[in-house]
Amino acid sequence: MGLSKQIVDIAASRPPLSSLDYQFIPLDIIVHWPRCSLMANSLAKNSAPFFENPKQQEAILSTILNELLENAVKFSSDKRAPASMSMKNYGDFVIIEISNSILPEQMEKFIHFLDSLHQAELVDAFIQIVENNFSQNPREGCQLGLLTLMKDYGVKIKIEPEEHDFLRPFLKTIQNQGNRVIVKAVYTPTNIIK
């Protein structure tokens, strides 16, 4: 379920047509949870006019952004360390990047989860998670959210350690736990690129 080579090549070869970036502190969202949807809606509303069926795309983008943002806040290991969310529009697709702190073992879990989806049909995986979910660990619920984005909206998701982190020198002084991680999600509104 990683990003396709075609998309990676395009993103590497040309700058995005537009880009919107948010910096945020996860704790600010925990203090007032509706900020999640406010941020997601704002980004989606800004970007939707670029696409065909903007109303429909706004709703889908808002759903995708909200899910990714909620996960970033929930799994930030340092709720006071700055996090960021950006949405780059390449015309045929958008790349959403979310960067936050994370515990190494949590990152391993995510990577393992996404890798496991290579081997499974998304619908089967979805049913299995629904059946197993909510039994022991409520945090596993995030898998369902990410899987829903993949299954229903064709979102491709990749998670990797953040390598080029301009905030790193600053973060070292205030971040007391965890690594930095970046979640990349690609959404193709018109399914031109598969």
Partner 1 sequence: MELYLKIAESRYDILQCHYLIAEVYNAVYDIVFSEDPANADPHSKIEPYPDLFLMALANEMLVAAVGLYTHTTYVERYGNVNPKDIAALLDSVKTKINYSPTHLREFSKMVVRPNWQGNGISLFLAGACHSAYFINRNAELPPLIVCCETRRLFQHFHKANGIRTRFIKSFPYYRVHEQYRSADNPMESHLIIPELDIPKKWHTLELPGWYRIGQDVVEKKNGVIQTNR
Residue 18 falls in which region: left (phi positive, over 0), alpha (psi -120 to 50) or beta: beta
CB nearer to partner 1: pick between 35 and 158 = 35
Among 27, 38, 123, 127, contact with partner 1 (rule: CB under 8 A): 27
**Pick 57 or 106: Cβ nearer partner 1:** 106
Instruction: Output the CA torsion 80→82→85→86 (10° steps).
Output: 170
* Min dist. Cβ of residue 139 to partner 1 (A): 7
Contacts with 46 (C-beta within 8 Å, 6 or more apart), sequence order = 20
Which of 37/86 has CB closer to partner 1?
Answer: 37
- How many whole angstroms separate alpha carbon 24 and alpha carbon 9? 29
Alpha helices in 1-138 (DSSP H): 5-13, 26-31, 35-47, 54-75, 104-116, 122-132
Do residues 104 and 51 lie in contact, with contact meaning Cβ atoms separated by under 8 Å? no
Applying CB under 8 A, does 34 fall inside the site for partner 1?
Answer: yes
Query: CA-CA distance, 153 to 28, in Å (whole number)?
Result: 29
What is the edge-to-edge ordering of all strands in the sheet holding 83-89?
Answer: 18-24, 83-89, 94-102, 179-187, 156-161
Part in contact with partner 1 (CB under 8 A); list of ranges 32-40, 51-59, 61-69, 159-167: 32-40
Question: Is 122 among the residues that bind partner 1 (CB under 8 A)?
Answer: no
Contact stretch for partner 1 (CB under 8 A) within 3-11, 27-35, 60-68, 103-111: 27-35
- Examine residue 30 and tell whether it contacts partner 1 (CB under 8 A): yes
> Is residue 59 involved in binding partner 1 (CB under 8 A)?
no
The single-letter DSSP state of residue 177 is S
Contacts (CB under 8 A) with partner 1, residues 127-186: 138-139
Q: Contact region for partner 1 (CB under 8 A) — 23-31, 40-48, 82-90, 100-108?
A: 23-31
Stretch 71-90 residues interacting with partner 1 (CB under 8 A): 74, 79
Q: Return residues touching partner 1 (CB under 8 A).
A: 27, 29-34, 74, 79, 138-139
